[in-house]
Amino acid sequence: MPKSRIAILLAPLLCLATVAGVACQSSASHSSSAPRVSQSTPQGSKAPTAGSSLARTGATGTARATKSSANSTASPGPFTATAHAASGFLTGIGDEQTEMFSNPYWQRLHTKIVRYIVPYDAAVRPYSLQEASVWIHDAEAAHQQILLSFYHSEYTPLKMPSVSTYQSDVQKFIKLFPHIRQYQPWDEANRGTIPHELVSPSPIQAAQYYQVLRRVCAGCQIVGLDVLDQQTTGRRCVTSKNSSARSTG
């Protein structure tokens, strides 16, 4: 079994509707996984070497691939018809591990788009920036189009950034990687609070982050809202965010 956790077309998917500018993903990988929060490296720790990976738990949108299921993606049947019917959509994989790009199961999918979840403050955190830089380099070497989603700081996951801090940090990141033009303001904005692990933005904060990202990344494709399709809080978050976005312009 490959070490890297690779999602395949028949496993829980990260779906990217690039025409509509909308992202969706299955909750199946969330229901039994731990919260996806990186194990923080204390400030002052030695910077990692290129290619090193920060231990992560419960990576979203990924599942272990098996040989039989990978083979089935190429088999004719209902999925073939579905693929033709949805020809306006692109399907890609979200995985924070660079091992994905060398995994033969992922390579057999022949996908052209990938998603990476990066701490919103990566540009001012050398360790997080090193991780992101290596992943982005490998994704581009594999000729992938990148959708980048901001998320909690690996150092302060229990604290949401102020709007001004968010704007300052993500703007610095965007300037470092000007060729990336597709973004999500916040991953799983409706995830809620997980005691001692993380907090999530309020609907108003989620709307404010969206507005900020639109301003600092003019001409970029910005996904309005990325949600975890759980039974609680999702509808309230979407409704409240729509109202907040209208009120903030």
Virtual CA dihedral for 39, 66, 3, 83, nearest 10 degrees? -60
In this predicted structure, what is the pLDDT of residue 90? 83
In this predicted structure, what is the pLDDT of residue 213? 97
- Count each helix (H run) and each strand (E run) in the chain, helices first: 8, 7
What is the maximum span of the chain, computed from C-alpha positions, in angstroms?
Answer: 55
Secondary structure of 231-244 as H, E, C letters: CCCHHHHHHHHHHH
Classify residue 123 by its DSSP letter. G
CB 97 within 8 A of CB 129: no
In this predicted structure, what is the pLDDT of residue 153? 97
**Residue 165: strand, helix, or coil:** helix
In this predicted structure, what is the pLDDT of residue 88? 77
The residue ranges of every structural domain in the chain are 14-29+53-247
What is the CATH topology of the domain spanning 14-29+53-247? Answer: TIM Barrel (3.20.20)
| Residue among 197, 192, 196, 201 at smallest CA distance from 162 | 201
Q: Has this prediction a pTM greater than 0.85?
A: no
CA-to-CA dists, residue 78 to 24, 28, 108, angstroms:
21, 21, 19
Average confidence (pLDDT) per 10 residues, the chain, 249 residues: 38 35 36 37 40 33 33 36 57 93 95 96 98 97 96 96 98 97 95 93 96 96 89 53 50
Tally the residues of the chain: 249
